[in-house]
A and B are shown apart, each in its own frame.
Chain A
Amino acid sequence: MVTEMMVLLAKVVFIFALCIGAVPFCVWFERRGSAWMQGRLGPNRLGPFGLFQLVADMIKFFFKESFIPQNSHKFLYLLAPAIALVPPMAAIASIPFCSEIHLVNLNVGVLLILAFTGLEIYPIILSGWASNNKYSMLGALRASSQLISYEISMSMALLSMLLVYGTFDLTEIIRYQQEHHWGVLLNPLAALIFWVATYAETNRLPFDLAEGDSEIVAGYHLEYGAMKFAIFFMSEYVAMIMVSAFLVTLFFGGYALLPGMSWVVSASGKAFLLPVFELFSFFLKVAFFMFLFVWVRWSLPRFRFDQLMHLGWNILFPLSLANLLLMGAVAYFLR
């Protein structure tokens, strides 16, 4: 019992440390990657490849003045960053990282993740409201309407896949994909819809209207500085990691080994290598989608809000509905 607890604790620490520790590298890659895409250099002065820039940034965040706007709602203003990290971290807990590391093995894991991604809007709404600033409020409202619009398409794309997999259990879903094909090959349209929706979920470009620097300055976190801002910043990256991991699990086989790896494992004949390679494949897949986040950001311009709504309701929603009906029919007749 104690050993089990210790192992579980070690797993918890490992996953959380991995996610939080990945954030600075994501930020570093965001900055240097954007620089490379624009023919610039990016931060390259501190340490090897400019990696210590992150340390400098963190030190700065720690030592900046932490102020509270005079006419804000003090409690909610402080509550918003305090809970910002909770939903993405909680959602990550139910994603299997490899066959050995799966913190919360629920048979309704998909629903849990959906529930927590829905909660992600709360810190944003709270901060927008509590800041008592029109730009923050506008940013929060934009974020919430955007979340609702895209959550529907996202859920329906997900639903179409659940018809195929026939389970809510993420481990089962991965096993199904290992045995048959990756979800993306079974239903590429659902994968595309889901992928687009993740950008809206995380308020990333081209859907970063909640921040919309050109119109509403910085949106919901306009009135936040120092560590409070840093937490919002971190939660955005943790959310990105989380949705990438979810996307990988649903459509790209989760921790299923990449082609060629199974041969290496069986050739070596060492069983303990399997979870290591599984973790490695999972990491590579997630990293690819993290790269896509950066790539998309610097390739596509931001949508106007009406265009965002048009895309969400007039295109993605009917498309995902049609996809759901089609998959339902296919699943019914093939069973």
Chain B
Amino acid sequence: MSTGNIKTTNVSRPYTWKERLYLLTIPKGFLVTLRYFIRGFFLRKSNTISYPEERRNYSERFRGMHFISLDENKLENCTACYLCQTVCPAKCITITAEERDPKENPVGVAKEKRPKAFDIDALRCCFCGMCEEACPKDAIKMSRNYELAVHTREMAMYDLKHLSREVKNRG
């Protein structure tokens, strides 16, 4: 196997006495820590993001907490087709379907089925995004919200009311 220009060292070979003195490597290590010390102490530079004030800018494709998008009439896009529940590898989605009251539909809309309950157990979810992929109506989507800390386990069970959001993009 070619390693190109990368110099490799077999670390499992017995070391020579020169190497075992560590005369070169120890000062090298000290210089690294000293460099960082000077960088932090004098130049006030660090790699830390001071979280509440600064936020890490995650990529557009980041998969955070789910939400259920609403259509222009403020009705949830979800038709309770159970495809997300079917595809979910963590079995964290529980849907109960019901017939949508025709009177509830605005003029010109004929939605037959609606989710009576749509629960996501965020503690079980592995944020794989397969529900989003499976959804035929683009109803379940994953936002970029990653702040999911809650006080009790029950609070991590998100229901339809929590999940329904009118979103322009992936907010």
Contact = CB atoms under 8 A, between A and B. Distances in A.
Interface residues of B, number: 16
B3 interface: no
Contacts of A38: 36
B56 to A, nearest CB: 15
A206 B129 CA distance: 46
Contacts of B30: 295-296, 299
A99 to B, nearest CB: 33
B8 interface: no
B26 A35 contact: no
B34 interface: yes
Contacts of A33: 37, 41
Q: Classify the interface of chain B: helix, strand, loop or mixed.
A: helix
A300 B23 CA distance: 13
B11 to A, nearest CB: 15
A36 interface: yes
Contacts, number: 44
Contacts of B41: 33, 36
B33 interface: yes
A80 B32 CA distance: 39
A35 B41 CA distance: 10
Interface residues of A, number: 13
Interface in A290-326: 295-296, 298-300
Interface in B34-53: 34, 36-37, 39-41, 45-48, 50
B39 A300 contact: no
B50 A36 contact: no
B29 interface: yes
Nearest to B35: A37
Interface in A1-60: 33, 35-41
A156 to B, nearest CB: 21
B34 A295 contact: yes
A300 B33 CA distance: 10
B33 A299 contact: yes
A37 B48 CA distance: 13
Among B29, B30, B34, B37, the most chain A Cβ lie within 10 Å of the Cβ of B37
Nearest to B47: A39
Contact of A39 (B26, B29, B34, B46): B46
Given A41-B50, A299-B33, A36 B40 contact: yes
A213 to B, nearest CB: 20
Contact of B37 (A37, A41, A296): A37
Contacts of B37: 33, 36-37, 295
Contacts of A39: 36, 39-40, 45-48
Contacts of A40: 40, 46-48
A70 B46 CA distance: 45
B143 to A, nearest CB: 29
A39 B32 CA distance: 11
A39 B45 CA distance: 7
Interface in A233-266: none
Given A35-B46, A36-B37, 6 more contacts: A33-B41, A37-B34, A37-B36, A37-B40, A40-B47, A41-B48
7 contacts: A33-B37, A35-B40, A36-B40, A37-B36, A39-B36, A39-B40, A298-B33
Interface of A: 33, 35-41, 295-296, 298-300
Top 9 nearest A-B pairs (CB, nearest first) are A36-B40, A39-B47, A37-B33, A299-B33, A41-B48, A299-B29, A37-B37, A36-B37, A37-B36
